[in-house]
Amino acid sequence: MRDHTRRWAWLGVLLIGLGLYVIVLLTLVNTDNPNFVPALILLGATVVPLSFLTFAQARTGQWQVPTSALVISAFFGGVIGIVVAGTLEYDTLRDLGVLPMVLVAIIEESAKLIVPVILLFTILSRHERRLPSDGLVIGVASGLGFAALETMGYAFTALLASGGNIGSVEETLFIRGLTSPAGHTAWTGLTAGALWAVIAAPSLRRVLAFIGTFAGAVVLHTAWDTFASPVAYVILAIISLGWLFLALRHYRTFAERVPATVAMRPLTI
């Protein structure tokens, strides 16, 4: 019963989040009070990514990553990732005068891994548990934070550019919120999971797999930023999510092979 509840918890998060979003939106429209705009942007940017994180967390094997680790990864991973990426992109643009999309992808995919890597070595220094599924869900959380903050920025820019048109904000939140699981959250989850796999069972094959996974995430990110069309987004979303679901299945099998004394040991930070 508990496993069944966990597997469908994402739906509850999604429905409750959407309900709150609609309530805030209706209140904003009825009162014409701009004080509700920040709440609208916050909910619009986080509901879908958070639902996806809940979905992934329930399907990563024998043990759930604690909420504390996910909160740290989402908050600090998002803030640090977006600040580091923004600074490096600005400095590169200033020095080169042009910033190729592939370079943007490399910078952002690297920046989103900073906090997951810190958590990786912090956890490993205190615990024997080394399941790749932990890395995947922590990476998803970091990508969630990055995507949510980026969406908030785009929504705020849309608000200013449209002269306060809430319809423009809604459109931005809808498009970026709906596509966020197939973007930053999936790509960072894949790379962090592959990195955790290297530490869990070091081998040349797993090192090459991590390098290939990171390169694949960069290629998908570059394509996403380059081919701005609905058809391209659908194709890239199918590839990104399909790859992530395959990784979830693979890591779940990996977790089932881990001795119970290790797999069920509490993971805390």
Domain boundaries, the chain: 2-263
- Overall average pLDDT of the 125-152 stretch: 86
Q: How many CB atoms lie within 10 A of CB 44?
A: 25
Residue 150 vs residue 62, higher pLDDT? 150
Phi-psi map region of 164: left, alpha, beta (phi>0 left; psi -120 to 50 alpha) = left
pLDDT in tens, 28-56: 999 999 999 999 999 999 999 999 999 88
Band the pLDDT of 8: cuts 50, 70, 90.
confident
Band the pLDDT of 266: cuts 50, 70, 90.
very low
The pLDDT score that the predictor gives to residue 130 is 66
**CB-based burial, 116-146: b 16+ in 10 Å, e otherwise:** bbebbeebeeeeebbbbbbbbbbbbbbbbbb
Q: Is the pLDDT reported for residue 241 higher than 80?
A: yes
Q: Is the pLDDT reported for residue 162 higher than 60?
A: yes
pLDDT in tens, 179-238: 889 999 999 999 999 999 998 888 999 999 999 999 999 999 999 988 878 899 999 999
- Overall average pLDDT of the 158-185 stretch: 91
Residue pair 53/12 in contact by the 8 Å Cβ criterion: no
Distances (CA, A) of 124 to 34, 202, 258, 267: 46, 14, 16, 10
Q: Is the pLDDT reported for residue 261 higher than 50?
A: no
pLDDT in tens, 63-109: 567 888 899 999 999 999 999 999 988 887 777 766 788 899 999 99
Band the pLDDT of 125: cuts 50, 70, 90.
low
- The DSSP letter of residue 125 is T
The pLDDT score that the predictor gives to residue 19 is 96
- The DSSP letter of residue 35 is G
Q: Is the pLDDT reported for residue 132 higher than 60?
A: yes
The pLDDT score that the predictor gives to residue 260 is 43
Rg (C-alpha) for the chain, rounded Å, is: 19
The pLDDT score that the predictor gives to residue 151 is 95
The pLDDT score that the predictor gives to residue 124 is 54
The pLDDT score that the predictor gives to residue 178 is 86
The pLDDT score that the predictor gives to residue 264 is 40
Q: Is the pLDDT reported for residue 262 higher than 50?
A: no
